[in-house]
Amino acid sequence: GWIEKLGALDFAGGTVVHETTATSALVLAVLLGPRSARPAEPEPHNVPFVILGGGMLWFGWLGFNGGSAYGANNTAALAVLNTCLAGAASMIVWASLERLRNKRTSAVGTMTGAIVGLVIATPGCGHVTPLGAVAMGALGCLLAYPNFLLHHPRVDDTLDVFCCHGISGFIGTMLTGIFARPSEFAKPSDDVVQARFKLLGAQLAGGLAAPAYAAVATAALYFLISRFMRMRVPEEDEHGGVDAALHGEVAYRTPKPRAAGSGRPAQELELGSPNGALGDSPNPMAECRASPQKNGTSASTAAPPRHWGTDDVPSTAAAAVREEP
């Protein structure tokens, strides 16, 4: 395309993949508006899953960047090495910034820093030296980190997609122009300084044109599609959960305590405390065996309840009663 003819460098798609998709996500977030049930302080769904998913993403990134060499060659090896170096450098810088700001380092933040580094490395991983990749990851993270602290009430970007991929992708595009090896953009007879400034101009043009095109195209498609179908789920489904509305199930269900054999809440068991909590009695299991149910059946002889259905998840108390000899 015309961006390539300008001489811009984008080895694995930092401009045409990360910047464009992040811009599309931002445009859709603005057009759709925030969730009606948006939490005031969003929290990670599952921290171990964040680490697991980040590790899997890093592994896949090696194929994404290394595979952009279109062969098992030295360029592919360099791209893989630079991807790891930039990701590691960014992760260390992010963890350091987080400790300076919050007096502690979080696992989610550290993994976010790694992903930022991988994004920054993408456009230049095959064009820079390993030392340049370290500099790109560290410097790029310093430039990207403050943007994660900015929030707008109109933009409900829970995963910080625009900051992580859009802004970091643009930073990587520009840093590629700074750290690219001269052999990647200049002939031996060229003035390297002049050729580098020309490269930076091409990087800037490509880094701005690609997301601008994505923004216009995304908005146009949104308004076109919105004429034929609903673009948001009903508000009651937002509050109740889309999984429950569309699939009739949820990922995590809070157990509903049931008394053994009676179907009544386990709090009705006389376990030695007003609220029926096992931990409030000196010898809860002894009292549980000795306490009669309201239907005249002792807890130890009552038939075990159904407990594999969605509405009959066993409580700790009921499970303990069933296991007692």
Domain locations in the chain as residue ranges: 2-36+49-230
Does pLDDT of 123 surpass 50? yes
Residue with tokens 């921290």: 47
Closest to 218 in 3D by CA, of 162, 168, 172, 151:
162
- Specify the CATH number of the domain 2-36+49-230: 1.10.3430.10
CA distance linking residue 134 with residue 126, whole number of Å: 13
The burial class, CB within 10 Å (0-12 / 13-18 / 19+), for 169 is: buried
pTM for this entry: 0.76
CA distance linking residue 322 with residue 301, whole number of Å: 9
Closest to 120 in 3D by CA, of 251, 275, 229, 13:
13
- Predicted local distance difference test score (pLDDT) of residue 252: 77
| Least confident piece of the model among 113-127, 224-238, 285-299 | 285-299
Who has greater pLDDT, 318 or 162? 162
CA distance linking residue 277 with residue 270, whole number of Å: 9
Who has greater pLDDT, 226 or 262? 226
- Predicted local distance difference test score (pLDDT) of residue 278: 41
- Secondary structure of residue 298 in the 3-state scheme: strand
Does pLDDT of 247 surpass 80? yes
* Max avg pLDDT among 132-146, 229-243, 290-304: 132-146
For 74, the token pair is 């030295």
Q: In angstroms, what CA-CA distances link 294 with 111, 147, 182, 262?
A: 54, 61, 85, 9
Q: Which residue type, as a one-letter code, is found at position 275?
A: N
Q: In angstroms, what CA-CA distances link 193 with 116, 199, 209?
A: 29, 10, 24
CA distance linking residue 261 with residue 306, whole number of Å: 9
- Predicted local distance difference test score (pLDDT) of residue 80: 97
- Predicted local distance difference test score (pLDDT) of residue 258: 60
